[in-house]
Structure 1
Amino acid sequence: MPQVTLPGVVDRHVHLGLVDRTLLADSPVTEVHDLGWDPRETAAWATTPPSGVRVRYVGPFHTAPGGYPAGRSWAPNAAVRPVASPREAAQAVADVAAAGGFAVKVALHAGMALLPDDVLRAFVAEARAAGLPVLVHAEGAGQAGRAIAVGADVLVHVPWTETLPPELIARAARMTWISTLAIHDGPGRPAGLERPAGLERALDNARRFVAVGGTLAYGTDMGNGPTPVGVNEREIELLGEVGLTGEVLLRAVLGPPEVPALTAPLPVPGTAADLIAWLRASRTLGPTPTDLEHP
């Protein structure tokens, strides 16, 4: 059987400071996006990444003074940048650009202090002027709606704390949502036990988002609890439950052609189960091979 060559897996939501990064070396995951950590550390990881892995990073979480994730035991102080005014938002965006960040991460968590609307709008305006997308952690009633209303580019989790109304889903269709579905359905759940309500809400929101043309992208929140360091097969299974198949599924999980490639002696995968089997059988080829195929 001929070898099928495809780009490697891109995990669009990781926290490398919370995992053993060396386990990613020469794995099917060939690019990771660190979405919140000490910017000095993330820049260093990008300079000397695990073998076969490209590291992109946003730098710190930007939040209101006292906002999420300030005070969390897992978040070092330098991973959280409090912002209190539009002027401070402009400086924060400039600092991300100067540090080589590929995007600006903003946190909106209804259980903690929240950025006011004028600061949130300033983040989006300043980031857009700098050519950087705005990625939002939106948790709690109304926060996904706020991110959508101001024109944020990405939600870093499929919304799971509330069921979004159809009109809001329709407004979000221009966005990308990063999946992170498996964090609501971690390992060890006994067979037959009712699935968490947060997972069911997320799956419902994701299905309706995809149905109106929204882009759903694979991301695992690696480091959030006992997530695997490498391919998260449960995340791919749940993308299949949302309804992703064929080229749409491959585009959600795999990278663009410039991402290092994988090859396996199996047909081009068409379902979540096929993709998991293909990744288990694959090996890394290296960047931009001449026979690269991409969905």
Structure 2
Amino acid sequence: MPEGTPSTMLPGVVDHHVHLGLVDRELLAGSTVTEVHDLGWDPREAVTWAAAPPSGVRVRYAGPFHTAPGGYPTGRSWAPAAAVRHIASPRAAAEAVADVAAGGGFAIKVALHSGLPLLPDDVLRALVAEAHAAGLPVVVHAEGAGQAERAIDAGADTLVHVPWTETLPDAVIARATHMTWISTFAIHDGPGGSFGLERALDNARMFVAAGGTLVYGTDMGNGPTPVGVNEREIGLLGRVLEGESLLRAVLAPPSALALTAPLPLPETAPDLITWLRAATRLPDATETEPGH
């Protein structure tokens, strides 16, 4: 690099919402993405991904979607049968959580999708209680009127999409500040998606202002999403966050330095996109250390 050009180091990108079974995951090898969280797939396959991940990438997995009999995503062409577990009772909830824990899953994925059969409140609460007793967070796909509120009030830890099907009232936002929300804004791009995107951005702004935690996630595999850094997602996230808050949302913890670029520290979303385009792996960061 030219003499006098600043060089900075940052952690790698963490994508908090992916579906590795729907992409060519080897394209992640050696990229600026150093950790991904698979949020719904056949747990037998997910174990193999974590054991032999793309070079330099840590893979964490939640295992199957937990849903009502017939609930989302049952019957979807993209979802293998083993990626969906039907929960009909609190006892079944306890068994399902035990299986995820035994299989090395890091979280319990729950689906609440209006227009299809929904988990009743007692089963939803049992999933949350059993997960927390096992030391696992509950991450929820909440789609449709009232479903985000149900997840919030059941004590779930994460919404895997910022709510986009409705604008949440202030009182509901105030009850959600213990949570993490995953952005996935860019999935609303395309015909008819702008209303959902603007609702999601408005909900995210209110949530962050109230003290909630917003993180970067792409739903990689949902449509023609890039395998790697999703610059559109970072750009949209920059409409809610900037500076250190943006870096915390997109990157691993500061102790996990993995990247270097001949640029100053980024402060805005365009800065961060430019920085990541120029970034390379540090020589001692070709493999992600577990547990960072």
Taking structure 2 as the reference length, the TM-score comes to 0.94
Which residue number in structure 1 is paired with residue 216 of structure 2? Answer: 218
CA–CA distance in 2 between the matches of 1:170 and 1:42? 35
CA distance in structure 2 between the aligned counterparts of 1:260 and 1:211, rounded to whole angstroms: 29
Q: Structure 1 residue 265: deviation in Å?
A: 1.0
Q: Does 1:97 pair with 2:97?
A: no
> Which residue of structure 2 aligns with residue 109 of structure 1?
113
Moved segments of 4+, more than 3 Å: 257-260, 286-289
Q: What's the CA shift string for 1:211-233, capped at 9, x where partnerless?
A: 11110000000000000000000
* Whole-angstrom distance in 2 between the partners of 1:231 and 1:249: 15
- The CA deviation string for residues 119-160 of structure 1, in whole angstroms up to 9 with x for no partner, is 000011111111100000000010000000011000000000
Q: CA deviation at 1:263?
A: 0.6
Q: Does the 8 Å CA contact 1:260/1:284 hold for their aligned counterparts?
A: no
Q: Secondary structure at the match of 1:137?
A: strand
Of 254, 259, 263 in structure 2, the residue corresponding to residue 262 of structure 1 is 259
**Which residue of structure 1 lines up, in the alignment, with residue 9 of structure 2?**
5
Aligned to 2:236: 238
Mapped partners of 2:257, 2:55: distance in 1: 11
The answer as to whether partners of 2:18 and 2:217 remain within 8 angstroms in 1 is: yes
Identity %: 77
Name the counterpart of 1:57: 61
Q: Is structure 2 residue 204 aligned with structure 1 residue 206?
A: yes
Which of the numbers 14, 17, 37 marks the counterpart of 1:33? Answer: 37
- Contact conserved, 1:58 with 1:102, CA < 8 A, in 2? yes
- The answer to whether residue 167 in structure 2 is matched with residue 169 in structure 1 is no
Deviation at 1:258, TM superposition (A): 5.3
Aligned to 1:152: 156
Alpha-carbon distance between aligned partners in 1 of 2:115 and 2:252, rounded to the nearest angstrom: 34
Larger displacement relative to structure 2 (194-203 or 271-280): 194-203
- The aligned amino acid for 2:68 is A
> With structure 1 as the length reference, what TM-score do the two structures score?
0.93
1:178 to 171, 175, 182: 182
The answer on whether the counterparts of 1:52 and 1:260 sit within 8 Å (CA) in structure 2 is no
- Determine the C-alpha separation between the residues in 1 that align with 2:164 and 2:251: 24
Once residues 118 and 286 of structure 1 are traced to their aligned partners in structure 2, the CA distance between those partners, rounded to angstroms, is 51
User: Do structure 1's residue 127 and structure 2's residue 124 form an aligned pair?
Assistant: no
Q: Is 1:282 the equivalent of 2:279? A: yes
Size of the alignment, in residue pairs? 282
- Long gaps (5+) in structure 1: 290-295
Please give the per-residue CA displacement for 1:28-56, whole angstroms capped at 9, x wherever unaligned: 11100000000000010000000110000
Alpha-carbon offset, residue 260 of structure 1: 5.8
Residues 47-56 or 251-260, more deviating: 251-260
Q: 1:111 & 1:261 partners in 2: Cα distance?
A: 44
Q: Is the 8 A contact 1:3 1:266 kept in 2?
A: yes
CA contact (8 A) 1:63 1:114 kept: yes
Q: Provide the C-alpha distance between the structure 1 equivalents of 2:34 and 2:256, rounded to a whole number of angstroms.
A: 7
What one-letter code is carried by the residue in structure 2 that aligns with 1:270?
E
Output the aligned Cα RMSD: 1.4
Given that 1:46 and 1:54 are in contact with CA atoms closer than 8 Å, whether structure 2 keeps it comes out as yes
Q: Equivalents in 1 of 2:248, 2:103: separation in Å?
A: 28
C-alpha separation between the residues in 1 aligned to 2:143 and 2:193?
20
Give the whole-Å Cα distance in 2 for the aligned partners of 1:257 and 1:16: 26
SS at match of 1:276: helix
Q: Which runs of 5+ in 2 are unaligned?
A: 287-292
